[in-house]
Structure 1
Amino acid sequence: MNVLFVNSIGRNKFGGGEKWMVNAARGLGARNHNVVIASKKNSRTIEYARSKGVSTKVFEIRGDLSPLTTLRIAHYLKQHNIDILICNLNKDVRVAGLAARLAKTPIVLARHGMLLCSRKWKHKVTITNLTDGIITNSRTIRDTYSQYGWFPADFVKVIYNGLDIPEKVEPYNFAARFSRKKIIYSAGRLSGQKGFNYLIEAAAILRKERSDLLFAISGDGKLEDDLTNQIRRLKLEDTVALLGFSDDINPMLKGCDLFVLASLFEGMPNVVMEAMAMGKPVVATDVNGARELMGTNESGTECNTGIIIPPRDPQAIADAIRSIIDSPSALYTLGQAGYERVKNTFTTEAMVSNLERYLLQTLSEKTAPISGLRSY
């Protein structure tokens, strides 16, 4: 197959969706498919893809309508005989998806790592006309889309994220900077979606009770100044540390005691999977995919890899942390269960196999009635 991924996320933005795309491209490439990732010039996505040996192409998609960019992409699709185009954002579907229709590219797919399609008419028109399906990473997203009544039963395909568990990770030495502290760690873009303001409020609640906790946050973004001011206003300079962006958070995960996801919404939160892979227990808000990833009992109320809490609730975050942070045995047991769950269910190999199988099947079904096309 010849596959092109298009992702027009901002140059300085990089998250789970971008990691998934690079891992998927690298995995398909290792199976002798020709795969390219297209993004903005000098973007973190391009840089990360190149660092992983993935071929890249620059396309500047800035809005929903860009005739010249559409024509350039259409030319590229024809020139390189692209079989499958996979788009990340809605504007990618509108610009690149239209290009694929002009170029008669066999398959166009949207990849939704979170709820990107609402009931707005423009989403219905573009998704139903410019794509042949949606790949998502969560049953909850698939079930939400099924309620819209727009799509055939098999239009939305769930393919879980996956990762490679590193054989050896040297733990970050938090003690060198924060001696005699228990480390509660979090990571992500410093944006409203990630709920770091609620995590900082939880830190303030616990700071009134004790001084031996350190909340460390990796990431950068537009809310950095706001969060810094919140830390100062609450006098938490000795309790909350903003560590900045890191393209490899495994050492911090390995060196912390507990990971917290405070997000208001997600798809399948990659960072939770990464924490579990490092053997760390997780406190996570009840957002799309968290329960599927962490695993719950049949009633969906209990989880053996961590604690699931409601979003926008600093008290719930504080209570969850308080309930396990002083029990080494509980932290270890939850962390080991998370590690085993990722190792057995959420590997890159499994993800790439499922993706490859789906792409080949979709391409075969689309091209089978037409004679003279390439065989796969």
Structure 2
Amino acid sequence: MLNKNKIRVLFFIGSLRSGGKERRLVELLTYLSNSGRYEIFVVLTLSEIHYNQFLNLNIPYKIIQKRWRKYDITVIPEFYRITKKFRPDLIHTWGRNQTFYALPSSIRLKIPIVNSQITSAPPKLNKLSVNSLIDRLNFRYSKIILSNSEAGIKAYTPPLEKSKVIYNGINLDRFSNLPNPTNIRAKYKIETPYAVVMVASISPNKDYRLFSEVARYVTSKRDDISFIGVGWYIRDDSEYNRLIELTKSNPKFIIPGNINDVEALVNACTIGVLFSNKTIHGEGISNAIMEYMALSKPVIANDAGGTREIVHNNKNGYLIDRITVPELGNIVIELVDDEVKRNSFGKASETIIQNSFTLEKMGKAFEKAYEEVLELKQFKQKKPTQLMEIY
């Protein structure tokens, strides 16, 4: 049996800016804090915290200021000092570099690492790259490796004997008592009865070019459908500037950037889409797609990575592959026009979330992983005479 005292867990992530991995951690921290079984400390390497939900939890945290942009080994001694002072039972890492920085602390202080660095399923990996070398080290010295999709395990190929899949869990309370959709549509200048939303960062991993081309095609044929893309961006980024220029000539194409009321906006829209750059990126389980589904929206997304583990073609949406812009645009128009199918897809989406992707289900799975690691640690620490008594 585990010690009845609180389990001390040290979490290590790059930042808490808007993103799927970051949202997932905040949801987990909410669950663990509410359980009363854990003493938690969070370490960041960037001061970006976009989730007020995290601040409201009043969890102690520390930011290690990086000196270098990438592979900053100066983080290692500072993280060691924090670890030695906090004396955690577990170190739970949320990123490739964070896991790497935690290895010396884990090895020297004999604290097991729970590794949650796998959150995507890239189509190609360079096995000779520095990143792949770091991955192999991380996997070797982690006690358990957790991916949020089966596709992630297949892509990164960690040792299967210590790998598990824990699907994202979503806090359904986030979708209660949302503002009136009419007010939200007015706020974001959506003047049409139907709207297609894409929640995604404006980054190379996402295909905003496809989103904008589909928007141009559909809005040239229909005056009752708008397209709105929201997510984190870099102000001087060329793709962001290109999208802003498109909004000037097409009032039905809207790019408000990063927003704080994503749930309310999705609730006010008709269809949720997620187009990824399949040549370099494969989604794990997308939090954006989960939000669409929790709000009973049909989904259109790439047939790649972990998306096919949550979106079921022609059941709660469409998985697309090698499709032209007109074909994709016509799918959007067909869904808008077919209210029965749209509602059927939306209901199926909501049911999938309630059955397989709740916060409670995810939280319990993480707790089970913690217990397995701690039980193994306690077993290995027993003296030989104690082992004889067991047998």
**1:268 to 2:274 alignment:** no
Matched AA of 1:198: L
Deviations, residues 9-59 of structure 1 (Å, cap 9, x unaligned): 4x7x42110011111122122221112222135312575521344332222
**Residue 119 of structure 1 aligns with which residue?**
127
Q: Following TM superposition, by how much is the alpha carbon of 1:355 offset from its aligned partner in structure 2, in angstroms?
A: 0.7
**Residue 299 of structure 1 aligns with which residue?**
none
2:64 to 39, 59, 63: 59
After TM superposition, list the pairs within 5 Å mapping 1:1-376 onto structure 2: 1-9=7-15, 13-31=17-35, 32-44=37-49, 48-61=53-66, 62=68, 65-115=71-121, 119-120=127-128, 121-146=132-157, 151-166=158-173, 167-173=176-182, 175-176=185-186, 177-222=189-234, 226-230=239-243, 232=245, 236-264=249-277, 265-294=282-311, 296=312, 302-310=313-321, 314-371=325-382
Deviations, residues 294-337 of structure 1 (Å, cap 9, x unaligned): 2x3xxxxx341111112785344313212211122222111111
Matched AA of 1:221: Y
Cα distance in 1, alignment partners of residues 69 and 108 from structure 2: 19
TM-score after normalising by structure 1:
0.87
Cα distance in 2, alignment partners of residues 258 and 233 from structure 1: 21
Cα distance in 2, alignment partners of residues 175 and 124 from structure 1: 44
Matched AA of 1:152: P
Higher mean C-alpha displacement, 217-226 vs 137-146: 217-226
**Residue 389 of structure 2 aligns with which residue?**
none
Distance 1:230-1:270 versus aligned 2 partners, 3 A rule: closer
Answer whether contact 1:110 1:131 (CA < 8 A) is retained: no
Distance 1:171-1:258 versus aligned 2 partners, 3 A rule: farther
Deviations, residues 146-175 of structure 1 (Å, cap 9, x unaligned): 3xxxx4322221000011113322244355
Deviations, residues 112-145 of structure 1 (Å, cap 9, x unaligned): 1114775235135422344223211101111233
Cα distance in 1, alignment partners of residues 51 and 247 from structure 2: 38
Answer whether contact 2:244 2:255 (CA < 8 A) is retained: no
Cα distance in 2, alignment partners of residues 192 and 89 from structure 1: 19
Q: What SS class does the counterpart of residue 205 from structure 2 fall into?
A: helix
Cα distance in 1, alignment partners of residues 302 and 136 from structure 2: 33
Distance 1:275-1:123 versus aligned 2 partners, 3 A rule: same
Q: Following TM superposition, by how much is the alpha carbon of 1:362 offset from its aligned partner in structure 2, in angstroms?
A: 1.7
Answer whether contact 1:63 1:91 (CA < 8 A) is retained: no
Q: Following TM superposition, by how much is the alpha carbon of 1:257 offset from its aligned partner in structure 2, in angstroms?
A: 0.9
Cα distance in 1, alignment partners of residues 64 and 223 from structure 2: 50
Cα distance in 1, alignment partners of residues 185 and 261 from structure 2: 19
Total equivalences in the alignment: 360
Answer whether contact 1:161 1:351 (CA < 8 A) is retained: yes
Deviations, residues 341-369 of structure 1 (Å, cap 9, x unaligned): 11121100000001101111122113312
Cα distance in 2, alignment partners of residues 175 and 315 from structure 1: 26
Cα distance in 1, alignment partners of residues 227 and 146 from structure 2: 35
Matched AA of 2:215: A
Matched AA of 1:140: A
- Backbone CA RMSD of aligned residues: 2.5
Distance 1:307-1:261 versus aligned 2 partners, 3 A rule: same
Distance 1:79-1:94 versus aligned 2 partners, 3 A rule: same
Q: Following TM superposition, by how much is the alpha carbon of 1:228 offset from its aligned partner in structure 2, in angstroms?
A: 4.2
Unmatched runs of 5 consecutive residues or more in structure 2: 1-6, 384-391
Answer whether contact 2:229 2:254 (CA < 8 A) is retained: yes
TM-score after normalising by structure 2:
0.84
Cα distance in 2, alignment partners of residues 154 and 144 from structure 1: 16
Q: What SS class does the counterpart of residue 208 from structure 1 fall into?
A: helix
Cα distance in 2, alignment partners of residues 308 and 237 from structure 1: 27
Q: What SS class does the counterpart of residue 266 from structure 1 fall into?
A: coil
Unmatched runs of 5 consecutive residues or more in structure 1: 297-301
Distance 1:110-1:229 versus aligned 2 partners, 3 A rule: closer
Cα distance in 1, alignment partners of residues 260 and 243 from structure 2: 25
Distance 1:333-1:79 versus aligned 2 partners, 3 A rule: same
Deviations, residues 208-249 of structure 1 (Å, cap 9, x unaligned): 322221101112313765344346469752221012212331
